[in-house]
């Protein structure tokens, strides 16, 4: 008697790689413990169309292809349009990814409720219609042309599409959808791939844009949106610290625009509010007096300059090993800056506890914030305040040199616009640029020079 054999295959839940057997570390993306087992479907094998289909495609010279500008649907949120590269392209498949609870459903719902020009179908696999209604009421926008259906079966969704004939389709979320042709459960790599592929086909054939919402989890229990990255036209990531109210929407991939722009939102009682002036993140928290350990830096996120506050606290280590604690800044970079300050500026920081925080819950990767961070640390260390109306920008190199930063004019203009009176910048950064700024500029080429300027 032969036992029934069930054929299974292993998928990496992070990158989607297939493997015939379990492995601890995915050989493709290098993540640990991401392999999940899935049963292979016994359904009829899908084969490629017969060769008669070949006749429909024909190679064409590039110069002979007619260039047509793609039709774009203007979304109600300007920040969203900006990240999409000027609106939602007809027939495109867009993925909005983010951790659970960050506000993806709110962002999409808020936008589609304000679109009056087309019929929208919102498929929810996560919340009931009354839950969505409650949220819509909270956002405060009734709409007659937005239809909501709670469904998780791909086949039935296609039937609903057939009857509603939407001009925009939203799937919330792709991990809850499942096709009956596959045996594996919703959220598995093969289901996510299969559902996304049929939605892609629908989008391309009908010209209807499709927005997919996808969760990213650290445990890898749901198929990560990485699996989808090469299927979709654009991947937008919604991120932020859920303890703070600010959210950043950035494009990781966009076939119809650049990926350097980003949108900033604030989660309020009544939905998301656009933050068109990001520096308010900083300015709303200002105190009246100058405090030691606080400096203002000019950073650039995407193409937009804005001011952020670096807060540092340096104190004598209470225990043998000094503590280093950082939020919003790279901890390796902090250690590098501490080493530079010790070696080049002569401050004994190796025996001190150092705490660093970027105000507002933002994560900053811009090296131009180095100078502000280093100054905040020194300011706390010697307990001397840097005036609130002074801001700093510059990258600190290993030998203590202050290196030039990108888009210096934009940074200076932003600082001037927000009422700063002084700005410290790298020397020679303004070469060839007309000095017509409404702010006093101090140029430094070494960290020692900056120390003398700030604390002399
Ligand atoms: P949600 O859009 O459900 O997140 P996701 O779809 O990414 O899982 O939003 C989750 C959080 O947003 C929820 O904890 C409550 C908060 N929220 C507000 O603060 N204000 C609002 O107006 C709404 C609708 C949600
Ligand atoms: Mg949601």
Give the CA distances from residue 349 to residues 335, 370, 380, 382, 427, in Å, rounded to whole numbers and listed in that order.
10, 16, 11, 11, 26
- Structure confidence at residue 49 as a pLDDT band (50, 70, 90): very low
The pTM (predicted TM-score) of the whole model is: 0.76
Lowest-confidence range among 5-9, 96-100, 414-418?
5-9
- Structure confidence at residue 5 as a pLDDT band (50, 70, 90): low
pLDDT tens per residue, range 139-193: 877 788 999 999 999 999 999 999 999 999 999 989 999 999 988 888 888 888 8
Which residues make beta-bridge pairs with 354? 314, 324
Q: Residue 335: is its pLDDT beyond 60?
A: yes
For 228-286, list the strands marked E by DSSP: 234-239, 246-254, 262-268, 271-274
By most ligand atoms within 8 Å of CB, the mutation choice from 239, 241, 267, 272 for ligand 1 is 267
Ligand 1 and 408: CB distance under 6 A: no
Report, as an integer, the average pLDDT of 276-281. Answer: 75
| Per-residue confidence (pLDDT) for residue 63, from 0 to 100 | 85
| Per-residue confidence (pLDDT) for residue 223, from 0 to 100 | 58
Lowest-confidence range among 38-52, 104-118, 249-263?
38-52
Structure tokens at 118: 């087309």
Closest listed residue to residue 296, CA positions, set 187, 204, 418 = 418
By most ligand atoms within 8 Å of CB, the mutation choice from 96, 100, 101, 103 for ligand 1 is 103
Distance CA 355, CA 314 (A): 6
Between residues 114 and 320, which one has the greater pLDDT? 114
Between residues 179 and 9, which one has the greater pLDDT? 179
Distance CA 238, CA 132 (A): 20
- Structure confidence at residue 325 as a pLDDT band (50, 70, 90): very high
| Per-residue confidence (pLDDT) for residue 55, from 0 to 100 | 54
Distance 240 CA to ligand 1 centre (A): 13
Percent of the chain predicted with pLDDT > 90: 46
Determine contact, residues 438/412, Cβ cutoff 8 Å: no
Distance CA 371, CA 380 (A): 14
pLDDT tens per residue, range 70-129: 788 999 999 999 899 889 999 999 999 888 888 999 999 999 999 988 999 999 998 998
Ligand 1 and 140: CB distance under 6 A: no
Q: Residue 44: is its pLDDT beyond 70?
A: no
Closest listed residue to residue 191, CA positions, set 174, 178, 176 = 178
């Amino acid at each position: 008697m032969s036992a029934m054999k069930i054929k299974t295959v292993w998928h990496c839940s992070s990158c989607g790689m297939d493997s015939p057997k379990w492995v601890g570390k995915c050989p493709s993306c290098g993540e640990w413990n991401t392999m999940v087992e899935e049963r292979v479907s016994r359904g009829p094998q899908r084969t490629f169309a017969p060769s008669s289909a070949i006749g429909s495609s024909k190679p064409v010279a590039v110069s002979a292809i007619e260039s047509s500008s793609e039709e774009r649907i203007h979304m109600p949120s300007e920040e969203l349009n900006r990240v999409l590269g000027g609106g939602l392209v007809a027939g495109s498949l867009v993925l909005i990814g983010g951790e659970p609870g960050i506000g993806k459903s709110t962002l999409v719902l808020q936008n589609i409720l304000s679109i009056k020009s087309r019929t929208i179908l919102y498929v929810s696999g996560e919340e009931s219609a009354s839950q969505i209604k409650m949220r819509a009421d909270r956002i405060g926008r009734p709409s007659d042309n937005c239809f909501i259906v709670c469904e998780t079966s791909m086949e039935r969704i296609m039937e609903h599409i057939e009857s509603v004939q939407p001009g925009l389709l939203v799937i919330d979320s792709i991990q809850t959808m499942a096709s009956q042709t596959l045996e594996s459960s919703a959220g598995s790599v093969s289901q996510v791939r299969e559902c996304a592929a049929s939605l892609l086909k629908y989008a391309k054939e009908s010209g209807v844009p499709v927005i997919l919402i996808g969760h990213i989890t650290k445990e890898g229990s749901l198929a990560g949106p990485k699996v989808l990255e090469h299927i979709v036209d654009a991947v937008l990531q919604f991120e932020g610290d859920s303890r703070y109210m600010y959210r950043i929407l950035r494009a990781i991939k966009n076939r119809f625009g650049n990926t350097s722009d980003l949108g900033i939102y604030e989660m309020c009682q009544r939905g998301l509010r656009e933050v068109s002036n990001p520096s308010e993140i900083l300015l709303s928290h200002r105190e009246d007096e100058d405090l030691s350990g606080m400096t203002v830096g000019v950073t650039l996120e995407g193409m937009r300059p804005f001011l952020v506050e670096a807060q540092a606290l340096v104190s004598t280590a209470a225990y043998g090993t000094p503590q280093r604690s950082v939020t919003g800044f790279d901890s390796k970079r902090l250690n590098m800056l501490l080493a530079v300050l010790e070696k080049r500026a002569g401050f004994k920081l190796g025996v001190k506890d150092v705490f660093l925080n970027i105000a507002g819950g933002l994560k900053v990767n811009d090296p131009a914030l180095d100078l502000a961070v280093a100054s905040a640390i020194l300011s706390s260390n010697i307990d001397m305040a840097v005036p609130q109306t002074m801001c700093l920008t510059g990258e600190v190199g290993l030998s203590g040199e202050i290196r030039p930063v990108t888009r210096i004019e934009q940074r200076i203009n932003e600082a001037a616009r927000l009422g700063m009176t002084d700005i410290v910048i790298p020397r020679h950064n303004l070469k060839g640029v007309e000095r017509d700024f409404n702010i006093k500029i101090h140029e430094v080429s070494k960290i020692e020079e900056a120390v003398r300027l700030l604390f002399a």
